[in-house]
Amino acid sequence: MTRPYDALETRFRRLNALREAAAMLNWDMSAMMPAGGAEARSEQLAALQVICHELLSDPAVADLLDDAEGDSAPLDPWQRANLREMRRDWLHTTALPADLVDALSRARNRCEMIWRQARPDSDFAAVLPSMQALLDLVRESAAAKSALLGCAPYDALLDEYEPGSSAARIDTVFDHLAAFLPEFLSRVLDRQAAAPPPLAPQGPFPAAVQEALARRLMAAVGFDFAHGRLDTSLHPFCGGVPDDVRITTRYDEADFAKALMGVLHETGHALYERGLPSAWRTQPVGAARGMAAHESQSLLIEMQACRGAEFVAYLAPLARQAFAGDGPAWTADNLRRLYNQVRPGFIRVDADEVTYPAHVILRYRLERQVIAGDLPLADLPAAWNAGMHDLLGITPPDDRQGCLQDIHWFDGAWGYFPTYTLGAIAAAQLFAAAKAAVPEIPAAIGRGDFAPLMGWLRQNVHAWGSFHSTDGLLEQATGRPLDPRALETHLTARYLA
Amino acid sequence: MTRPYDALETRFRRLNALREAAAMLNWDMSAMMPAGGAEARSEQLAALQVICHELLSDPAVADLLDDAEGDSAPLDPWQRANLREMRRDWLHTTALPADLVDALSRARNRCEMIWRQARPDSDFAAVLPSMQALLDLVRESAAAKSALLGCAPYDALLDEYEPGSSAARIDTVFDHLAAFLPEFLSRVLDRQAAAPPPLAPQGPFPAAVQEALARRLMAAVGFDFAHGRLDTSLHPFCGGVPDDVRITTRYDEADFAKALMGVLHETGHALYERGLPSAWRTQPVGAARGMAAHESQSLLIEMQACRGAEFVAYLAPLARQAFAGDGPAWTADNLRRLYNQVRPGFIRVDADEVTYPAHVILRYRLERQVIAGDLPLADLPAAWNAGMHDLLGITPPDDRQGCLQDIHWFDGAWGYFPTYTLGAIAAAQLFAAAKAAVPEIPAAIGRGDFAPLMGWLRQNVHAWGSFHSTDGLLEQATGRPLDPRALETHLTARYLA
């Protein structure tokens, strides 16, 4: 006789295959699909989402979950954790009626396609109606989940990306940072101003050469091209599935560091996916822990490792050779100062790690107001610009460099932004712990050898999937839960030492 | 109250979206996926196929079909044709139990992946076990369908690709051709031998330049890049969905005509898909009529139009310019003779239109024996080589140029091959009818203007979807059902005039 738990594993295996299919179609939509394919793709994704919803909302699943939880004694710890994650998945999925799931999927695809045109045109009005239609559905879904999870609507959205977190917890963490950063930023800017500015290597840097160098560095970090691809897209991302991780970038021929650091960032995401426990590949407990954990891996590679002095010393001669560079701009010391230059700017994805939290705090505050119904979307551009001025003292000249810059809201991902800064904190905390445990990590990175670092990360982070909570994962790897002082310590050491 | 017919339309709309999702994943598997993604992809496709199977095998569908057919009086002719095609789809799908569908999908993907390696290695033994496993399942499925459709197992397989056809009908058609071709071939070869051979332009022809020229010609024929892509793959094909048609090719830097003519061929397939009745895009009657009709469209563009004197006269100066060609090899007259050169060879996809039917007749005879159980797979390479010698007087030096050359059997598509030659006949028949109806077609093609031809094809072929049978489609477009004499007339005019 099949145990309830085993019947659940079978059903979640099929669910995983269908979600992987949707993940590949989403990658294709961003990296390959011509514009004319949008309507049909939207129908394909909506049909998949409805099927996945039906698989979980079948009353038999509720019964199986109850039965398995009532009889969880014979399960081993991984199976118990898997059962817990199944329940979580079930809760988030069945909280929404099927027609809302279907409508959300269509509205998301439609809004994203219009945003793709509105952003280069800096035309917020063009995307406003479809953004409003999508937001209405997001708020409806937040209300439905809020009732079921017993939390505020914004927390219900947040929980999808960062399980167990809450606005109250984030406020504590962000308040700590917000108290630290303004004075710290001004000290860093003063110190920078006292030295001659770093020199920017002069391009053009052909995209094909950038790509070849990016592929070489991806391989050095540990990316396996038999299990993944690098392509181009408007908004760089890491997509695909653990066995076939697809990362994307975009090339700026005037500045090769943008794509290069972007690719290293996405490589961090990709290696997390590849390192997830393969024995649990088809099950909820085998998935990445959450978006903060995911971002911790990308930021650990990009910010902690690859903008550090050791890696830049390894990179400098490779870049000089690839682009036939010559002169003082190409020294390791200049490039290190260039890659760690702090300068308030409009674009989040180009921001340095000192000002980045301000970008996130702005979006977090705005999206809480929007979800609460306190800020109409029509007022968003003005509120954005006012917030940028308050936080970083600058005002975007247009919405392309303001509230149109990120895909997230136009893709329905409200409640996602805080995870970037939670991830930055976790990255600092994990990199410090890794170096304490394996002292040769920095020297190895200086030779382009990421094996010691990746070995520690595999063992202490990747291989745990969703076995622990985010704080549990950090506790077993670093000895304490998420702590904003880890980021403050790192920033102080890098920028004021 | 919802009519049974309308409930069926709703269900087939969802089915179509899921099949479109699978079509995109299949394209990705051939054009984009790294090898390490194969296992996960196989699970994704199998899950989709099981879901599609469940959607149709639900007993409610059988009831709805019975009810709708019992009450088809209020339906208009398109709805009635759609209902007929729904029944056909239902028959083919539900003839197989779910576990057989699942096993077939997995075996197909596994065998195809192994074939991808076995072909360049010319290693038939390497692919034999997975080919045998797949064949066993194909024969099991042929037996199941044969019982249900009341026909022979081979005919049941054939019916999936060419509805309503049979080995008996194909024997009649192929016997007619087989009686005509040998003597015709020897007359053509004699005639060719009497003139100096055409000159082959000398490469290398960079792949990027070939691709740019191919894109230009695709656009001239009518391909809309807002609704499709051109990429590379091992085995050129036309995939994707009607709103987003993905064609692929492979480039040989020593001979640009291979990829160019291949791309024009796939463009013919693509324009058929794009021209299907958009009002019926999500329904069975909106699909292409069958593989013979599909191949008629690719061969009409490639063989009938683009190897004709008018198009080659248009192409010659473009090719000369693109590749900086110079000398007598680049004249329109030489290229026309080169592109219509008849020469028995090993590779079907490189064959001229005179020897091509021999390749198809060989495969047709072999696959009938294999499906009947009269030819073990282990004996296939020897039987192949003997057949090639009988039909064209040549013996392949290895299996790479023999029975490993085509993807079809390794992808589970037994019963597919005859449609190539049925399509060649239909192409000749349709092109003759188009020119009779619109006399300016040849002159327009000579200016790179395919609008008059495509207009006639849209109206008389594409826009009908699956409304008619294949013969019905040909009758309304050309005045008679499929007739091998149409191909013989064309060949005589082109090669012996």
Closest to A360 in 3D by CA, of A374, A348, A368: A348
pLDDT at A234 over 90: no
Of A34-38, A97-101, A175-179, minimum mean pLDDT range: A97-101
Long-range contacts of A211-219 (CB under 8 A, 24+ apart): A211/A251, A211/A259, A212/A322, A213/A256, A213/A260, A213/A318, A213/A319, A213/A322, A214/A249, A214/A259, A214/A260, A214/A263, A216/A318, A217/A260, A217/A263, A217/A264, A217/A267, A217/A315, A217/A318, A218/A263, A218/A264, A218/A267
Which residue of chain B is at minimal alpha-carbon distance from A40? B243
Which of A28, A225, A281 is nearest residue B24 as measured by Cβ atoms?
Answer: A28
Which of A39, A40, A243 is nearest residue B40 as measured by Cβ atoms?
Answer: A243
User: CB B51 to CB A50 under 8 A?
Assistant: no
Residues in chain B closer than 8 A to A40 (CB atoms)? 17, 20, 241-244, 281
Residues in chain B closer than 8 A to A50 (CB atoms)? 14
pLDDT at A497 over 90: no
Three-class HEC string of chain B = CCCHHHHHHHHHHHHHHHHHHHHHHHHHHHHCCCHHHHHHHHHHHHHHHHHHHHHHHCHHHHHHHHHHHHCCCCCCHHHHHHHHHHHHHHHHHHCCCHHHHHHHHHHHHHHHHHHHHHHHHCCHHHHHHHHHHHHHHHHHHHHHHHHHHCCCHHHHHHHHHCCCCCHHHHHHHHHHHHHHHHHHHHHHHHHHHCCCCCCCCCCCCCHHHHHHHHHHHHHHHCCCHHHEEEEECCCCCEEEECCEEEEEECCCCCCHHHHHHHHHHHHHHHHHHHHCCHHHCCCHHHCCCCHHHHHHHHHHHHHHHHCCHHHHHHHHHHHHHHCCCCCHHHCHHHHHHHHCCCCCCCCHHHCCCCCHHHHHHHHHHHHHHHHHCCCCHHHHHHHHHHHHHHHHCCCCCCHHHCCCCCCHHHHCCCCCCHHHHHHHHHHHHHHHHHHHHCCCHHHHHHCCCCHHHHHHHHHHCHHHCCCCCHHHHHHHHHCCCCCHHHHHHHHHHHHHC
Give per-residue pLDDT as tens, A349-387: 889 999 999 999 999 999 999 999 999 999 999 999 999
C-alpha pair distances (Å), B184 with each of A89, B180, B188, B227, B489: 68, 6, 6, 42, 11
CB atoms within 10 A of CB B15: 23
Per-residue pLDDT of chain B (497 residues; tens, 9 = 90+): 789 999 999 999 999 999 999 999 999 999 999 999 999 998 999 999 889 999 999 999 999 999 999 987 789 999 999 999 999 999 998 999 888 988 998 899 899 999 999 999 999 999 999 999 999 999 999 999 999 889 999 999 999 999 989 999 999 999 999 999 999 999 999 999 999 999 999 989 999 999 999 999 999 999 999 999 999 998 899 999 999 999 999 999 999 999 999 999 999 999 999 999 999 999 999 999 999 999 999 999 999 999 999 999 999 999 999 999 999 999 999 999 999 999 999 999 889 999 999 999 999 999 999 999 999 999 999 999 999 999 899 999 999 999 999 999 999 999 999 999 999 999 999 999 999 999 999 999 999 999 999 999 999 999 999 999 999 999 999 999 999 999 999 999 999 98
Which residue of chain B is at minimal alpha-carbon distance from A227? B36
Chain B contact for A46 (CB, 8 A cutoff): yes
User: CB A229 to CB B35 under 8 A?
Assistant: no
Give the integer Cα–Cα distance in Å for B174 and B170. Answer: 6
Q: Give the pLDDT of residue A349.
A: 86
Tokens 């087939």 -> residue: B12
User: CB A21 to CB B44 under 8 A?
Assistant: yes
Chain B contact for A244 (CB, 8 A cutoff): yes
Residues of A acting as catalytic residues = 266
User: CB A44 to CB B50 under 8 A?
Assistant: no
Q: Buried (b) or exposed (e) across A155-181, using 16+ Cβ within 10 A?
A: bbbbbbbbbebbbebbeebbebbeebb
User: CB B43 to CB A282 under 8 A?
Assistant: yes
Where in chain A are the domains?
Answer: 4-150
Chain A contact for B207 (CB, 8 A cutoff): no
The shortest C-alpha distance from A91 to chain B (Å) reads 23
User: CB A37 to CB B244 under 8 A?
Assistant: yes
Give the integer Cα–Cα distance in Å for B493 and A494. Answer: 81
User: CB B227 to CB A25 under 8 A?
Assistant: no
Q: Give the pLDDT of residue B2.
A: 86
Of A113-117, A303-307, B292-296, minimum mean pLDDT range: A113-117
What values do phi and psi take at B240, rounded to 5? 80, -150
Q: Give the pLDDT of residue B365.
A: 94
Q: Give the pLDDT of residue B1.
A: 73
> Mean pLDDT for chain A?
96
Chain B contact for A227 (CB, 8 A cutoff): yes
Those of residues 298-357 in B touching chain A at CB distance below 8 A are none
The one catalytic residue in B112, B160, B211, B266 is B266
Closest to A330 in 3D by CA, of A347, A353, A313, A346: A313
Q: Give the pLDDT of residue B106.
A: 87
Residues in chain B closer than 8 A to A54 (CB atoms)? none
Which residue of chain B is at minimal alpha-carbon distance from A55? B51
Most A CBs within 10 A among B27, B43, B53, hence the mutation to make, goes to B43
Q: What is the mean pLDDT of residues A199-211?
A: 97
Most B CBs within 10 A among A244, A274, A278, hence the mutation to make, goes to A244
Chain A contact for B208 (CB, 8 A cutoff): no
Q: Give the pLDDT of residue A98.
A: 82
What values do phi and psi take at A374, rounded to 5? -90, -10
What is the C-alpha end-to-end distance of chain B, expressed in Å? Answer: 65
User: CB B224 to CB A36 under 8 A?
Assistant: yes
Give the integer Cα–Cα distance in Å for A414 and A406. Answer: 12
pLDDT at A221 over 90: yes
Assign residue B240 a region (left: φ > 0; alpha: ψ between -120 and 50; beta: otherwise).
left
Q: Give the pLDDT of residue A472.
A: 96
Tokens 């390894």 -> residue: A314
